Chain A
Amino acid sequence: MQLTVNGTAYQVDVELDMPLLWVLRDELGITGPKYGCGIAQCGACTVHVEGMPVRSCQLPIGDLEGEVTTIEGLGTPDALHAVQQAWIDHQVAQCGYCQSGQIMAAAAFLDLNPDPSDQDIDRALSANLCRCGTYPRIRAAVKTAAASLKGA
């Protein structure tokens, strides 16, 4: 079957029930989305499908409808997305393993809710687990990113 990831079209020959996550990681070599739990508990595998956030470990490839954007497609070290820039400015990452998912979740959230309250941020990002405990900086970075996106 065919799928489009970060603007590039790919052809893969896989079982239709293989989760998108493993198609990305093992078939296409796109390793920004991480495997953390496999059951939608941690959010490390979050990607966008048509701009909406999706846990790629939950989506069978046969049910994918639309273009996929991964953390690599959101922005690059040379052309950062505002959320990524805020993550760097606040030095959010410790081990960093959850941060691809955190950033993708935050970017999708700010797209839907550009002017979030503190409470909104807690509601939006509590489904992404961070074992290192970077939550205070995640909160701060989301606010910075929201301000910067509004100014843009």
Chain B
Amino acid sequence: MKHVLVLFTLLVPQMAPAQSNTAEEGLAAWDRIYQVTSSPRCANCHVGDNNIPMWSGPSYGSTRPHGMYIDAGPSRIGAEFIPCSTCHVSSDRPNLTPHSAPHIAGLWHLAPVEAEWFGKSSNDICTQLRDLERNGGRTAEDLVDHAAEDAIVAWGWTPGGTRVPAPFSQAEHVTDMRIWGAAGQPCPGD
């Protein structure tokens, strides 16, 4: 966790735009955000109410449910069956061993069911993200913080093993979230 924050401070441009961005800039930023949110690193754990994480992306071959019949349950942390933390331990050491269970300095878990992204369209994800009812009551600024500070989000860019990281960099993603927020969170379907 500490490492992540230090890294973040070094990388994130501190000249965040004070003025509003145009809707056009916002939509361009959203487009990049969508590439991140729909990448396997994020979407695999932003799944719906079947509570089953996915294995997709180049290192998994074909798209399929998480192996071993894993079901994170309504708790979204596996408490009903086998806790995610059984294999995805809490550690801030880098993920070095190929094919082993990735870890973060925190509790491995599925995103809340309202934030279902897997297989969803750009507009679906976009409208969910700006909907306070469905995004955990997060303002645009809160979303920037989430992108910047949550350990499980940061893991998307340092997944280790042979996993392909989320596109762009975490710093670029945070900037995009900021631009998108400043532009009034425009969505493609608006």
Contacts and interface: CB of A to CB of B under 8 A. Distances in A.
A53 B83 contact: yes
B153 interface: no
Given A126-B69, A127-B70, A63 B90 contact: yes
B132 interface: no
B80 A127 contact: no
B99 A39 contact: yes
A108 B78 CA distance: 12
Contacts of A112: 79-80, 83
Interface stretch (A5-13, A23-31, A117-125): A117-125
B91 to A, nearest CB: 4
Contacts of A142: none
Interface in A19-38: 38
A40 B82 CA distance: 13
B14 interface: no
A63 B82 contact: no
Contact of B82 (A39, A60, A105): A105
Interface string B76-88: 0001111101111
Interface residues of A, number: 28
Contacts of A39: 97-101
A144 to B, nearest CB: 19
Interface string A122-138: 11111100000000000
Give chain B's interface secondary structure class: loop
B119 to A, nearest CB: 22
B104 to A, nearest CB: 11
A46 interface: yes
Q: In this complex, which of B82, B90, B91, B100 has the most chain A Cβ atoms within 10 angstroms of its Cβ?
A: B82
Interface residues of B, number: 24
A145 interface: no
A127 B67 CA distance: 8
Nearest to A122: B69
Given A38-B100, A40-B101, A58-B100, A127 B93 contact: no
B79 to A, nearest CB: 6
A3 interface: no
Contacts of B80: 112-113, 120, 123
Interface of B: 68-71, 79-83, 85-93, 97-101, 103
21 contacts: A38-B97, A41-B99, A52-B83, A53-B82, A53-B83, A54-B85, A55-B89, A55-B101, A58-B101, A62-B91, A63-B91, A63-B93, A108-B86, A112-B83, A113-B80, A120-B80, A123-B80, A124-B82, A125-B82, A126-B69, A127-B68
